Amino acid sequence: MPWELTIWILSVLLCMVLLTQRWWEPKLAKQGARLGGGGSWRWYLLGYPVALVRVPLTWRKVCRVLDLDIPRRPRYSMMNRDTMVAGTAVRGLPPRLGLPRVTRFGFVVRVHLHPGQTPAAFIAASDALVHAWRVHQVRVTSPRRGMVDVVATGYDPLARVESWPTLPTPRLLAATLGKADDGSYWTVDLRTSPHWLVTGATQSGKSTLLAAWLTELGSQRVILVGIDLKGGMELGLYEARLAALATDREEARRLLTALVTELMGRMATCRAAGARSIWDLPEGARPDPVVLVVDEVAELFLVGSLAGRKEVVECATLLLRVAQLGAALGVHMILAGQRFGSDLGPGATAIRAQLGGRICHRVNDEQTAVMTLGDLAPDAVTVAQSITEDEKGVAVTALDGQWMRVRSRLVTPDELRTHANLTTHHVTAPFLDRIPDGSGDRD
């Protein structure tokens, strides 16, 4: 019918105009992400025009059902024969809704709150809005007092498995690990967030994420050391590039001791030079940064004997010292495990408190999600729990109270091994020469 065609053409034209409005892109938590990739034409031509009509049309009803509107008139009372009737007008007044503005993967719509309303009610309504607007995900942020931005994602940009060769380094210690759910690259910079905890059930994608991280850091002038107490099955693939790999607890203890000794040396250097961190030292005098990667961290804490318990306490104390001192002295750590809670021992909670960056893959129990994200971003816990078994590599990451859904780049064991062989001898670690003889963990 001609009028349908007219509406269609107008919608397409409107989309074209909106597409050019880059400043409308919502500023989500990006952890330093660079924008990458484009949106889908299906979304621009089909999804967005439908949302443009659906959102304003459903707004009044949605607000009434979700209790987001306010009474049009104050509570009233009236006489009905001999009876006094008190009540609230049925028709409510919904908060003013702006025009849904297109983004590459969805839209963002601004809501002007009525006096007395808070963003909390809208955050709680996110799930209902997903169904009402038939979008993939809704997040609510409050950019200014009295306003909320409802950021909807039309479809899941993380549904596709992605794999690409390592990207040029944005800066030393920064690594592009995958994609975020707003379509941007997911980049983590260890200089701004020095230590990370990665959790998730078996087969959820932890080791693949570590592989992506290692291949990014492996191309840089960074000393990489690993602890993999599951016989080195995962990190062993990258052994050619690692300066040291510990595969049992005794080796781990020796490696951690060497790291703490190195930290003491770096501290003395900084003190002598009047520097507060190694980054304040002149370039020639600055030691290379070290990244310690631990896979299946719980193995480090499991004890079978009394002698083993002493070793565990020693390892936990050394890990804690590395975490506490390492940030300013260029020694970073990434710990991955199925869980990392107080049940592993008293040291685990203290170490976790030092790990400011968190990544939570699919979990089997609520407790692990709470333990990983609960203290930093409580509303991310349910999102982490909703990751399904098919979504391998999908995770929720939290940093500084902000969170986002991400998916790591797929790095196969072959790619990891090849990359290690290509980048071997990239950087030397003189301090590891001081590991006592017989450690067997030197490259």
Judged by beta carbon, residue 237 or residue 270, the one nearer ligand ADP is 237
| Residue 207 binds to Mg ion (criterion: CB under 5 A) | yes
Interface with ligand ADP, residue 206, by CB under 6 A: yes
Stretch of 2-10, 186-194, 199-207, 316-324 lying at the interface with ligand ADP (CB under 6 A): 199-207
Nearer to ligand ADP, 21 or 202 (CB): 202
Stretch that binds ligand ADP, among 69-77, 200-208, 269-277, 279-287 (CB under 6 A): 200-208
In whole angstroms, the minimum distance from the beta carbon of 366 to ligand ADP comes to 18
The yes or no reply on residue 410 touching ligand ADP (CB under 6 A) is yes
Task: Choose which of 205, 330, 345, 374 interacts with ligand ADP (CB under 6 A).
Answer: 205
Contact with ligand ADP (CB under 6 A): which of 88, 203, 342, 428? 203
Whichever of 313 and 410 has its CB closer to ligand ADP, that residue is: 410
Q: Which stretch binds Mg ion (CB under 5 A): 71-79, 207-215, 251-259, 337-345?
A: 207-215
The three-point CA angle 112-117-123 to 5° equals 80
Q: Which stretch, 185-193, 201-209, 322-330, 343-351, contacts ligand ADP (CB under 6 A)?
A: 201-209
Q: Which of 393, 397, 399, 432 binds ligand ADP (CB under 6 A)?
A: 393
Least Å distance, CB 232 to ligand ADP, is 14
SS (H, E, C) the chain: CHHHHHHHHHHHHHHHHHHCCHHHCCCCCCCCCCCCCCCCHHHHHHHHHHHHHHHHHHHHHHHHHHCCCEECCCCEEEEECCEEEEECCCCEECCEECCCEECCCEEEEEEECCCCCCHHHHHHCHHHHHHHHCCCEEEEECCCCCEEEEEEECCCCCCCCCCCCCCCCCCCCEEEEEEECCCCEEEEECCCCCEEEEECCCCCCHHHHHHHHHHHHHCCCCEEEEEECCCCCCHHHHCCCCCEEECCHHHHHHHHHHHHHHHHHHHHHHHHHCCCCHHHCCHHHCCCCEEEEEECHHHHCCCCCHHHHHHHHHHHHHHHHHHHHHHHHCEEEEEEECCCCHHHCHHHHHHHHHCCEEEECCCCCHHHHHHHHHCCCCCHHHHHHCCCCCCCCEEEEEECCEEEEEEECCCCHHHHHHHHHHHCCCCCCHHHHHCCCCCCCEC
Nearer to ligand ADP, 69 or 391 (CB): 391
Binding of ligand ADP by 136 (CB under 6 A): no
Residue 337 C-beta: closest distance to ligand ADP, Å: 9
Query: 206 or 266: whose CB is closer to Mg ion?
Result: 206
Binding segment (CB under 5 A) for Mg ion, from list 1-9, 24-32, 61-69, 199-207: 199-207
Subset of residues 336 to 375 that bind Mg ion, contact rule: CB under 5 A: none
Measured CA to CA, the distance from residue 60 to residue 97 in angstroms comes to: 10
Q: Which of residues 148-167 bind ligand ADP (CB under 6 A)?
A: 161
Residue whose CB is less far from Mg ion, 154 or 226: 226
Residue nearest to ligand ADP (CB): 393
The yes or no reply on residue 407 touching ligand ADP (CB under 6 A) is: yes
Which residues of the chain form contacts with ligand ADP (CB under 6 A)?
A: 161, 200, 202-208, 392-393, 407-408, 410
The binding site for Mg ion (CB under 5 A) comprises: 206-207
